[in-house]
Amino acid sequence: MDIKLVAGSPSAIDTECLVVIALDHGEKHQNAPKLSFPKSPINDETMEKALAELLASGEITGKALETVLLHRPAGLKAKRLLVVGGGKAKTFTSSEVRRAAGTAVRFLRSKMIKSCAFTLPELPAGADEAARATVEGALVADFDPDTYRTDRKDLSFKDISIVSPGGADQGKLQAAISQARIVGEAQNFARELVNEPGNRLTPTVLGNRAQEMCKGVGLNCELMGPDRIKELKMGAFWSVSQGSDEEPRLIVMRYEPQGAPVTPVLGMVGKGITFDTGGISIKPADGMEKMKYDMAGGAAMIGAMRAIALLKPNVRVIGIVCASENMPSGKAQKPGDVQIAMSGKSIEIINTDAEGRLVLADGLHYARTLGCTHLIDAATLTGACVVALGMVNAGAFANDDDIYKHFAQALDRSGEKFWRMPLDAEYLEQIRSNIADIVNSGGRWGGAITAAMFLKEFVEDTPWIHLDIAGVAWMEETKGWIAKGPSGIAVRSLVEFVRSYEKQ
């Protein structure tokens, strides 16, 4: 997709479609909404007249994500005018901008229109924030999961234009657009990985894809197989891998800019289970085909590292993905087995389907041995988190308030939805073992929390955040702004989390 910044009056922009967001300033007790559109950058009376006529028609209410398309709007050089509802003005943020931009792209694609120009809505953070959100939303919308359909139609957008508001800093706007492109493309890269079926994206292939990406953007990448994993005494990681004929891969990506401070060193660890049957504790057949997405946390790390390499923050970052299949076989681990993690802790296996925390345990400890001073992990870890938060928010856990402040700042920028969950010491009692140090499953109650408590045993006092993205890593249905399938959740937040340390 070609993305460019254009200056001039909206009415004078020659485009297949001009996109405008309408906001509702009305109150609930009023019968009719009070709508507004972006202020014209150069006293564009023609544009204002066209919009006023549309308002008078009553066809647009400002309801979030509603769409009204006009053909050959009077006085406009654009062939079409698309108005997208932005919802209530008082709750309008960059998150709504992303969704509105995404809705516009997917609506126009359905009409075989592959080019448009966006006018920027007004945000308190300024025009550059509006441009950033618009570009990210448009890129995420321009993705479909039908990779292997023989009758697949290329609906991808050719180009979008961002109409510069009058008086805006052109340099800041262009920088925002360029950065948004990097982040949006990184999110889509992660989605491409998650979308691949398990027979086409084995741990070996995932490692190769990560290595190829690193080579393209100038990152160092090291791939390690069974011999090295065993040599490192990663007994928890290896226990998950041992039931599969496919070799595991430990993927280590390094971003070490010259002149960056010695600390912090941020460690980003992702669960990379390329297919999860549940092992001996096998899952039900219904829905198992989606278990190809169990590497979404690892994909988020790979996508985030791609964006970090191109954005070049002055912070040291190490990305680690523990990639494996979880399969039942005569070699697979069994409930009741005891495994020794890299840290030396002993783990009693209660449920072989609680495998994600096993690979992360060794990945997090390994990150500490590499000198990481701050840790963040992402994983499709528990169904319990989906029960707790549904498919709207992902779960966030932190053992340190300061590191969570950085993550909260990142969420303000990324617009992704995470909800902080507790890590009270009492939950540790649920994962104590009679035969070993801890068990890998604390039972039904508080399952997302006990899984996080398990991981906490391997980070010890290192500041750490755990992201349980199980409920939001896969869109169960197509939304107006995004296709059904992988969402790429956490990529934007991880990138902004890293950048927050550059500014401290």
Q: 194, 486 in Cβ contact below 8 A?
A: yes
Active-site residues, by number, are 283, 357
Q: For 442-456, what is each residue's pLDDT tens digit?
A: 999 999 999 999 999
Q: pLDDT class for 433, splitting at 50, 70, 90?
A: very high
Dihedral angle at the C-alpha atoms of 328, 452, 487, 420, nearest 10 degrees?
A: 160
Residue 59 has pLDDT above 90, yes or no: no
H or E, element range at 110: helix 94-110
Model pTM score: 0.96
Q: pLDDT class for 40, splitting at 50, 70, 90?
A: very low
Q: 292, 333 in Cβ contact below 8 A?
A: no
Cα–Cα distance, 405 to 427 (Å, whole number): 23
Query: CATH says 2-165 is which class?
Result: alpha beta
Q: pLDDT class for 25, splitting at 50, 70, 90?
A: confident
Q: For 65-110, what is each residue's pLDDT tens digit?
A: 999 999 998 889 999 999 999 999 889 999 999 999 999 999 999 9
Q: Are strands 374-379 and 265-276 parallel, antiparallel or unpaired?
A: parallel
Burial of 435 by CB count in 10 Å (0-12 exposed, 13-18 middle, 19+ buried)?
exposed
State the DSSP code for 219: -
Domains 2-165 and 184-502 share a fold: no
Would you call 150 helix, strand, or coil by DSSP?
coil
Residue 324 has pLDDT above 50, yes or no: yes
Domains of the chain, by residue range, sit at 2-165, 184-502
Phi and psi for 410 in degrees, rounded to 5?
-60, -40
Mean pLDDT score of the chain: 94
Cα–Cα distance, 50 to 158 (Å, whole number): 27
Cα–Cα distance, 272 to 267 (Å, whole number): 16
Cα–Cα distance, 488 to 87 (Å, whole number): 25
Show the tokens assigned to 465: 């955040």
What confidence score (pLDDT) does residue 62 get? 81
Q: Which is the CATH superfamily of the domain at 184-502? A: Zn peptidases (3.40.630.10)
